[in-house]
């Protein structure tokens, strides 16, 4: 049976290896940044310190620059809504008391310009949160109110972007920060992350293995029977071919994680996919033309070495 399962994995149309992409130019090395697709291009933005925005065009295999965010932003999961990149649930400032950015930031590629979006309710402001879009609304999950110091939350909030109205939804079963959310088949998945606590010298150790799932139809949370096989935070996540993918991350080990693990809701099981070419945390993953793209991040737990490499998974 084991041989059969391995053979199925190797002969699957999704089976492939990650490979480095050598492009014209290079982005600025960074971590605690983000990577997102918009209109056929890949945007690398944010990171510790005030960083420019680098844009990769797969058609030309070249990097170019775009407008820099107006403030330092890091520890966030960007989303695309109405043709713009939305940043909310971000942090700014220095370790360990980074502060939540109190409002959304919007990038318009047509104008190559940033603008300020809706304010986040004062008592619900946090960073290192998961952010996803579903049915024309944006969902802000989890996060931490005081940088890496303390204050991890189980909150879930819904933003109506057009009106700027917020609505509080039921809390997650497990509080977490330094993670990303994914929407798949009408459900919001919160996987990986931790309860950062530099206050008690447990910055990296309090990882969360449970995967919480919010059903938009019922408005209720459940947790998967099978936890994430490799516990980590600072990971990136995406919905891909009907699966929840959890990639990269950091934990108490020195090296950043290279593991790619996929949850298949149809079978209720986890799959081990080909690892990244290099372990990295503190960035994002983008889907374009059926391929997965990852750039930048940190190769070790914590702040460095910062990376500027780009890799792709092309089954």
CA distance 169 to 153: 13
Q: Is the pLDDT of residue 71 over 80?
A: yes
170 secondary structure, DSSP code: P
Burial class (CB in 10 A: 0-12, 13-18, 19+), 110: exposed
Burial class (CB in 10 A: 0-12, 13-18, 19+), 159: buried
| Residues 40-66, mean pLDDT to the nearest whole number | 97
Measuring CA to CA, which residue among 176, 242, 244 is closest to residue 210?
Answer: 176
pLDDT the model gives residue 304: 87
pLDDT the model gives residue 188: 98
Residue 151: partners with Cβ closer than 8 Å, 6 or more residues away: 126, 144, 145
* Band (23; pLDDT cuts 50, 70, 90): very high
Q: Report the share of the chain in percent with pLDDT over 90.
A: 94
pLDDT tens by residue, 111-148: 999 999 999 999 999 999 999 999 999 999 999 999 99
67 secondary structure, DSSP code: P
Q: Is the pLDDT of residue 12 over 90?
A: no
Judged by DSSP in three states, 122 sits in helix
Q: Is the pLDDT of residue 14 over 80?
A: no
Q: Is the pLDDT of residue 4 over 80?
A: no
**Whose structure tokens read 């977490």?**
176
Judged by DSSP in three states, 6 sits in helix
pLDDT the model gives residue 3: 38
Q: Is the pLDDT of residue 18 over 70?
A: yes
For domain 2-313, is the CATH number 2.120.10.80? yes
Q: Taking all residues of the chain, what is their mean pLDDT, rounded to a whole number?
A: 95
pLDDT tens by residue, 163-214: 999 999 999 999 999 999 999 999 999 999 999 999 999 999 999 999 999 9
CA distance 93 to 71: 10
Beta bridge partners of 291: 288
């Amino acid at each position: 049976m084991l041989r059969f399962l391995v053979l199925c994995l190797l002969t699957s149309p999704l089976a492939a290896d990650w490979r480095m992409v050598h492009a014209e130019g290079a982005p600025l090395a960074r971590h605690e940044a983000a990577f997102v697709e918009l209109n056929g291009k890949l945007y690398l933005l944010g990171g510790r310190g005030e960083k420019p925005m680098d844009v990769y065009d797969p058609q030309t295999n070249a990097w170019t620059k775009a407008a820099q965010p107006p403030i330092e932003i890091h520890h966030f999961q960007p989303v695309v809504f109405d043709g713009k990149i939305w940043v909310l649930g971000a942090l700014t400032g220095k370790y360990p008391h980074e502060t939540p950015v109190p409002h959304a930031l919007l990038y318009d590629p047509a104008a190559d310009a940033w603008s300020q979006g809706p304010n986040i309710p004062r008592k619900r402001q946090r960073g290192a949160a998961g952010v996803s879009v579903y049915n024309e609304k944006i969902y802000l999950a989890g996060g931490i109110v005081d940088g890496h110091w303390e204050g991890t939350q189980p909150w879930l909030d819904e933003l109506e972007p057009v009106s700027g109205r917020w609505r509080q939804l039921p809390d997650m079963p497990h509080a977490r920060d330094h993670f990303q959310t994914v929407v798949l088949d009408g459900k919001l998945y919160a996987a990986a992350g931790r309860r950062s606590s530099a206050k008690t010298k447990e910055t990296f150790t309090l990882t969360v293995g449970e995967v919480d799932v919010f059903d938009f139809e019922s408005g209720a949370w459940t947790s998967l029977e099978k936890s994430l096989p490799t516990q980590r935070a600072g990971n990136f996540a995406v919905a891909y071919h009907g699966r929840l993918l959890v990639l990269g991350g950091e934990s108490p080990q020195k090296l950043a994680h290279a593991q790619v693990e996929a949850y298949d809701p149809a079978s209720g099981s986890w799959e081990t996919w080909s690892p990244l070419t290099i372990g990295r945390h503190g960035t994002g993953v983008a889907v374009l033309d059926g391929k997965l793209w990852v750039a930048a991040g940190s190769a070790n737990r914590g702040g460095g070495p910062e990376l500027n490499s780009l890799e792709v998974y092309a089954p």
